[in-house]
Amino acid sequence: GLLNMRRGKFEEAEQYFRTAIKTLTERNPNPYDGEPYYNLGWSLKMQGKYDDAYSAYYKATWNAAWRDAGYFGVAQIDCIRENWTTALEHIDLALIHNWHNHKARQLKASILRHSGKTEEALKFIEESLIIDKFNLGCRFEKYFIESNPVELQEMLSILNGSVHNYIEYAFDFSSAGMYEEASRIMHTYIDEQTNIYPIAAYMLGYFASMAGDKETAQKWYKKAQSLSPDKCFPNRIDEVNVLTDAMKMNPEDFKAPYYLGNFWYAHRRYEEATVCWEKSVEINNQFPTALRNLSLAYYNKKGRKEEACRLLEKAFELDQTDSRIFMELDQLYKKMGRAHAERLTFLEAHLELVAQRDDLCIERITLYNQLGNYEKARELIAARKFHPWEGGEGKVTGQYILCRVELAKKAIKEKRYLEAISLLKETDHYPHNLGEGKLINAEENEVDYYKGIAYQKLGNEAESIKYLMKATQGSSEPQQAFYYNDQQPDKIFYQGLAWRGLGEESKARSRFNKLIDHGKKHLFDECKIDYFAVSLPELAIWEDDLNVRNKVHCYYVMALGYSGIGEEELAEEYYEKVKRLDVNKQVFRM
């Protein structure tokens, strides 16, 4: 029930709370614990079912632990009904059981003011401010009574211009039916701003709507629609009712369903989010962010991949200055297996956007490596200062190593052995511009192997044996590499090659056969990411099929193994299977 409350699904929450109460009161009509009754009252109140909520709150007071909260909820509904005498009795009962309840103190001051007892209200406010000078609810009440500009300026200083502070206090008043006071708080914020946070305007519309002033509500809802959506993301359950009312009263507003869709998606209500974004796009199909969000929902939650691609392409077409959408579109092309040359052409047509983001620069470098233009990749890496992000560790360093290994392999093939060694030694320490140091346990078997081969070709047996022995180090047991610091399976392949270079053929074949056996054994595993997983090696925008990723891994290790034992036809067959499933998989070959 509480999970559904946090997700803004009040009706569903109500059913769970009723089930909890049924269990709780199976043998005794009076609850041992008042929490389920309080939560039921909360869910009913959020639905506007005040009579039922009143009864549930009252029943929660049977239990001492929930007495103050229960009476506070009852007093709020008394205020909504404007039963000020009863409200005062109930808020006093709440304070008896929690004398320092700051929300209850603000509510009592409000009740006293509405009852015409302004002197008593001011005295109570002063007592409350002695307990806590930062009780802004009571400070607002004092301002409502005295209209003292000095008091207002002191409050504004404490509130520090943060709209979210104003929102919290406005909802405190509106939850007791004091919509005029809630509006005044939000006006205090708006009067100080040039760039208004859209939810603030929606709240003013909602407060007017709840007070019965439909004309003012329409005005503010239209104002909210006109405001920039930048950095606006609703996250309070009260905002669900605000945006729902806005959608009813202003059906032409495409931003209200967009905002509500954001709330639903963040709380894993994917169906509701999709419906909201579809409504937003239906009203206005020229709003890029709604198109982008709907694309995410279609791809990740509906499996409608082609539609997702069309939506994101349209979003980028509408705003070609948005580097985030551009990056996400490139990642979608990557996920859908677009050719490397096609993706590179797309990136290079928008180099000003690529330059804004490290992730896009790394994708461009990776594509050059995948297309065999290692010199260009090396040049691009050297030309930029990178700033790794969580989840992006090892990306640029991986490409840094790869291009040097491939250039060294070419140099060895062309008998330029000293140049090959020089290239490989560039991986001993990462240059400062990569933004990352080398992990103490970094496994670079391929680097050591080719160093050993280059020294061998130069006739330096001591150095050759030294580096070939280094290349044999590390675990010989293959595993799926989910995280950036996991051992990659090709490291075992190079262990095998190193043992072969040292004349230990049986140890070499042992490594290669382990790769083949591992691939056969785990090919049909059901895979999942650990709950606490961090630093996954892929950008987690478009959801992956982990079972497909596992197949790619297994086919790849089998290809490596068969290549190692000289079964080149079988190796090519499995390399081809890897390519069909994931054209972007960077594979190592001899």
Residue with tokens 């914020």, as numbered in its chain:
189
Q: Indicate the residue among 296, 324, 356 that finishes a domain.
A: 356
Cβ proximity of 201 and 178 under 8 Å: no
Q: Are residues 505 and 585 in the same domain?
A: yes
- The DSSP 8-state label assigned to residue 437 in this structure reads P
- How many other β-carbons are positioned within 10 Å of the β-carbon of residue 336? 14
Contacts of 352 (CB under 8 A, 6+ apart): none
On whether both 427 and 350 belong to a single domain, the answer is no
Mean pLDDT of the 121-135 span? 96
The answer to whether residues 430 and 497 belong to one domain is: no
Whether 411 and 323 share a structural domain: no
Structure token pair of residue 347: 């990136």
Q: Maximum CA pair distance of the chain?
A: 101
Residue with tokens 């382990």: 514
- Select from 426, 445, 464 the last residue of a domain: 445
Q: List C-alpha distances in Å: 365 to 161, 354, 407, 424.
A: 43, 11, 15, 19
Whether residue 478 sits in one domain with residue 415 = no
Q: Domain containing 503: what range? A: 472-590
How many CB atoms sit inside 10 A of residue 262's CB? 22
Alpha-carbon span 21 to 29, nearest angstrom: 10
Distances (CA, A) of 442 to 202, 403, 470, 499: 53, 17, 12, 20
Residue 194 confidence class, pLDDT cut points 50, 70, 90: confident
The pLDDT, as a whole number, for residue 530 is: 57
CA atoms within 13 A on the CB side of 97: 16
Question: Does residue 534 fall inside a structural domain?
Answer: yes
Q: Is the pLDDT of residue 590 over 80?
A: no
For 300, 346, 394, the CA distances from 359, given in Å and listed in that order, are 21, 15, 12
Please state, in angstroms and rounded to a whole number, the distance separating the CA atoms of residues 275 and 408.
54
- Nearest Cα to 484, choosing from 449, 447, 442, 429? 442
Q: Looking at the structure, do residues 344 and 371 belong to the same domain, yes or no?
A: no
Sign of torsion, CA 487 490 491 495?
Answer: positive
Supply the CATH number for residue 286's domain: 1.25.40.10
**Confidence (pLDDT) at 538:** 60
Burial pattern 433-466, b for ≥16 Cβ within 10 A else e, equals ebbbeeeeeebbbbbbbbbbbbbbeeebeebbee
Q: Are 426 and 486 within one domain? A: no
- What radius of gyration, in Å, describes the C-alpha atoms of the chain? 32
- If asked whether residues 325 and 396 sit together in one domain, one would say no
Question: Of 190-199, 295-304, 473-482, 549-558, where does the model show the most confidence?
Answer: 295-304
Distance in angstroms (rounded) separating the CA atoms of residues 113 and 117: 5
Contact residues for 113 (Cβ-Cβ < 8 A; gap 6+): 121, 141, 144, 145
Which tokens hold the place of 281? Answer: 């796009």
Average pLDDT over residues 90-96: 98
- Assess if residue 63 is contained within a domain: no
* Res. 533 pLDDT band, cuts 50 70 90: very low
Q: What percent of the chain has pLDDT over 70?
A: 97
CA 1 to chain centre: 24
Report how far apart, in Å, the C-alpha atoms of 315 and of each of 257, 261, 306, 311, 360 are.
17, 17, 14, 6, 18
Report in angstroms the alpha-carbon separations of 440 from 154, 364, 397, 428: 54, 28, 14, 12
How far is the C-alpha of 585 from the C-alpha of 544, rounded, in Å? 14
> Would residue 58 count as lying in a domain?
no
Residue whose entry in the numeric block shows the structure tokens 């439909």: 214
Condensed to tens digits (0 to 9), the pLDDT of residues 566-576 reads 999 999 999 99
What pLDDT band is residue 470 in, cutting at 50, 70 and 90? Answer: very high
Cβ contacts of 450 within 8 Å, gap of 6 or more: 405, 408, 409, 412, 420, 424
What does pTM read for this prediction?
A: 0.90
- For 65, which DSSP code? G
Arithmetic mean of pLDDT, 153-182: 95
Give one word for 584, left, alpha or beta, with left for phi > 0 and alpha for psi -120 to 50: alpha
Q: How confident is the model at residue 535 (pLDDT cuts 50, 70, 90)?
A: very low
Of 317, 336, 356, the domain-final residue:
356
Runs of H (alpha helix) within 391-444: 395-413, 417-425
Residue pair 66/34 in contact (Cβ under 8 Å)? The answer is: yes
pLDDT at residue 534, rounded to an integer = 45
Lookup: tokens for 340? 């490397």
Structural domains counted in the chain: 3
Tokens of 341: 């040359």
Residue found under tokens 């009592």: 108
| Average pLDDT value for the chain | 94
Q: Which two tokens stand for residue 308?
A: 């997702």
Who wins on pLDDT, 292 or 486? 292
The token duo for 364 is 């461009």
What is the DSSP annotation of 257-279?
Answer: HHHHHHHHHHTT-HHHHHHHHHH
Give helix 136-146 / helix 179-190 axis angle, nearest 10°: 100
CA end-to-end span of the chain: 58
Please tell me whether residues 479 and 570 are part of one structural domain. yes
Give yes or no for residue 127 having a pLDDT over 50: yes
pLDDT class for 410, splitting at 50, 70, 90?
very high
Evaluate whether residue 146 is within a structural domain. no
Q: Please give the structure tokens belonging to residue 343.
A: 């993706």
Q: Is residue 287 in some structural domain?
A: yes
**CA–CA–CA angle 424, 427, 432 (5° rounding):** 145
If asked whether residues 376 and 402 sit together in one domain, one would say yes
Q: What is the mean pLDDT of residues 159-171?
A: 95
Q: Report whether 180 contacts 211 (CB < 8 A).
A: yes
Shared domain for 373 and 487, answered yes or no, is no
Q: What is the mean pLDDT of residues 17-36?
A: 94
Distance between CA 298 and CA 310 in Å, rounded?
Answer: 11
Q: What is the pLDDT of residue 147?
A: 93
> Packing angle between helix 445-458 and helix 490-501, nearest 10 degrees?
20
Distance of alpha carbon 590 from alpha carbon 572, whole angstroms: 12
pLDDT tens, position by position, 311-365: 999 999 999 999 999 999 999 999 999 999 999 999 999 999 999 999 999 999 9
Polymer length in residues for the chain: 590
> Quick check: is 344 in a domain?
yes
Q: Which two tokens stand for residue 418?
A: 């000293």
Residue 412: the pLDDT is 97
**pLDDT recorded at residue 486:** 65
**pLDDT tens digit string along 217-229?**
999 999 999 999 9
> Is 132 a member of any domain?
no
Q: Are residues 433 and 502 in the same domain?
A: no
Residue 131 domain-assigned?
no
Measured distance CA(67)–CA(73) in Å, rounded? 10
Q: How far apart are CA 324 and CA 333, in angstroms?
A: 14
Q: Is the pLDDT of residue 526 over 50?
A: yes
Per-residue pLDDT tens for 232-275? 999 999 999 999 999 999 999 999 999 999 999 999 999 999 99
Q: Residue 501: what pLDDT? A: 96
Three-state secondary-structure class, residue 589: coil
In this predicted structure, the answer to whether residue 457 has a pLDDT above a threshold of 60 is yes
